[in-house]
Structure formats: structure tokens, C-alpha cells
Amino acid sequence: MVYFTSDLHFYHEKIIKHTNRPFKNFEQMNNCLINNWNSKMTFQDEIYILGDFTMKGPQLATNILLQLKGKKHLICGNHDKFVMQSNFDQLLFQSIQEYKEIQYLNTQFILSHYPMLEWNGFYKGSIHLHGHQHNKEWYNFDNFAKGIRRFDVGVDANYMSPVSAEDIITFFSLN
């Protein structure tokens, strides 16, 4: 199975207040995010992290990555500077890039950290996945109502949890 997530901001105390997350501190937030991730994922699943995994450096990023199930791919966000530091093992990710297009279950997904107004396959049924904005769940429903196949996979829009490709495909076929 393939999953997507974004904007986890592990160890980032200020993000709790900034996005009104329901946690007292970053320890509680980290534990919830790890538990939610691992309850959905297996070690064989693929997950694309669409940026802002952590801004707290390579040692703390490694600590969290080693606790998470799945084959991890990083689509870099504006807070993922840790991947370029010499003491970070980039092999903890299957791939690291700024942008990616994938096909899954006959659906084209366009992956980037940042939302776009138009993307490859925009008029041909592709779905653009992004993070960055820390939207709430209503954002995805609002896009659908406007006929826009753009979906925020960030944890703030998805109950602090990764979202599967199947769930996104179902969302656009049922709504």
C-alpha cells in the first residue's frame, strides 16, 4: 500500500500553538504522530513524506525515522535542511527529491511540498498532493466542491495521521 503525509514537525514545540494541535508539548505530539503512523503502516508499505518532517537536525530526525514503519520517501519541504547535513544518513530514505509524479491504481499523483494552481495532468484527472499550509480537513472538501483535484496530505488536515492513496482515490470518486 502507498501512503502520504506532510508537516509532521517532530520536536517543534511552537507548531502546536501555531496550528492549534491538541497537545501539551512536543513529546506528546511526537508520540501521537508515531503511534498513528505505525498503527496504519507495515514495513512493506511505501510512504511519501511531502516535507517538513523536522527542523531540529539530523540526530533527532534519525531518532524518529528509526521508530517509523514503512519505506520512506522524502519530498523536501522548507524545513528539511537536516537531509543535507554531512552527519545525516540519506539511506534512511528510499529517495529524496523536490517533486515527484507517481502512478498508483491507474491514478496519477503529483507530489510536492507546496500547493500549485495547476499541475501535470490537471485536465486529465491527476491529483495534486501537497502540504505546507497546515490546513484543516475542510480544505480538501472545499477543493473538491470547487472541482479542484488538490489534496492536503498534512497531518493537520488528516487527523494527525498518514492518508492512503486508496482513501484519496475514494474521496474524489465519492464526493
Mean confidence (pLDDT) of the chain: 97
- 156: three-class secondary structure by DSSP: helix
Q: What pLDDT score does 174 carry? A: 75
CATH number at residue 131: 3.60.21.10
Q: What pLDDT score does 175 carry? A: 52
Q: What pLDDT score does 168 carry? A: 98
| DSSP 8-state class, residue 54 | B
Q: Give the total number of structural domains in the chain.
A: 1
User: Domain of 48?
Assistant: 2-174
Q: With a cut of 70, list the residues of the chain below it in pLDDT.
A: 175
This prediction's pTM: 0.97
